Amino acid sequence: MNRIGILHHPKVAASQPLAAQIEQWLAAHQIATWQASSHDEQRLAELVPTADLLVVLGGDGSLLRAARYSSVCRVPIFGINLGRVGFLCEAQPDEWPEKLTKVLAGDSWVENRLMLAARIQRNDRILHTFSVLNDVVVGRGRQARVVRFQLHVDSDHVTDYTADALIVATPTGSTAYSMAAGGPLLPPQLPNFVVVPVAPHLTFDRAIIFHEQAEIAITVQMDHQAYLTPDGTDGILLENEDVVYITKSENDCQFARVESRGYFYRRLMGRLGYSR
């Protein structure tokens, strides 16, 4: 590796001192570096394509932000957890020298994770497009009122929902909001995604798993506010009869891993408090 980007979190006090420490450590290994805030979208768009690896300091949210840029140019991410959960991170703050040494030595492997592409269509016009690693959530706004959804897959009508929201999640996102809403846990190797209703009322209440080539279409029907929220970022206001199309993205997100290939289950149980 010739150049490594280091992304620090602007709102985490420990992030920038740790970034400086890692930069010094990499310089001692004759590796060029650059630093940027994980919230600085302009610099990320410019700098990420120049890196061979991204070291991301923060929680899962920081890695989701980085994934939007790294997936396009296939730059692997090495996450150091400074957040609360850290499902996606490969190292804790006291582990990074040992694990990053293995990455630099080639004693690691690259994990590919499926991403989703979403677009909002209104009256035959595309308004917004998104790429997400976790999930797309289509749901109600400030008012505690349900939204009606029509679900089509590959142009065929599947079912209608009356619910607070619908979550369309990747295997990565299956451990996030989808899990909290009762959805299944999908290992990251699966090429599937899942639709999970949130608080469905007198309607179909099961999660449905779809194959990677499926095209999901969600038509929103309401007389109040509803939003589309990609990967937990700021929501986009929807109007009645807007259609949200979701497919597999052309790009995968890559993670540099040094743990065994079965790490997911061990880490999951540990984060949930069930490890021995």
Domains of the chain, start order: 3-113+252-271 (3.40.50.10330), 116-248 (2.60.200.30)
Looking at per-residue pLDDT, the higher value among 156 and 263 belongs to 156
pLDDT for 218: 98
Would you say residue 275 has pLDDT above 80?
Answer: no
Is 60 among the residues known to form the active site?
Answer: yes
Give the predicted TM-score (pTM) of the model: 0.93
Measured distance CA(81)–CA(91) in Å, rounded:
6
Q: Are 258 and 80 in contact (CB under 8 A)?
A: no
pLDDT for 1: 84
pLDDT for 225: 87
User: DSSP for the chain?
Assistant: --EEEEEE-TT-TTHHHHHHHHHHHHHHTT-EEEEEETT-HHHHHHHGGG-SEEEEEE-HHHHHHHHHHHHHHT--EEEEE-SS--SS-SB-TTTHHHHHHHHHTT--EEEEE--EEEEEEETTEEEEEEEESSEEEEEE-SS---EEEEEEETTEEEEEEEESEEEEE-TTGGGTHHHHTTPPP--TT--EEEEEEES--SS----EEEETT--EEEEEE-SS-EEEEETTS--EEE-TT-EEEEEE-S--EEEEE-S-TTHHHHHHHHHTT---
Options 40, 52, 60, 231, the catalytic residue: 60
pLDDT band at 135 (very low <50, low <70, confident <90, very high): very high
The 10s digit of each residue's pLDDT in 193-227 is: 999 999 999 988 999 999 999 999 999 998 888 99
The 10s digit of each residue's pLDDT in 220-250 is: 998 888 999 999 988 899 999 999 999 999 9
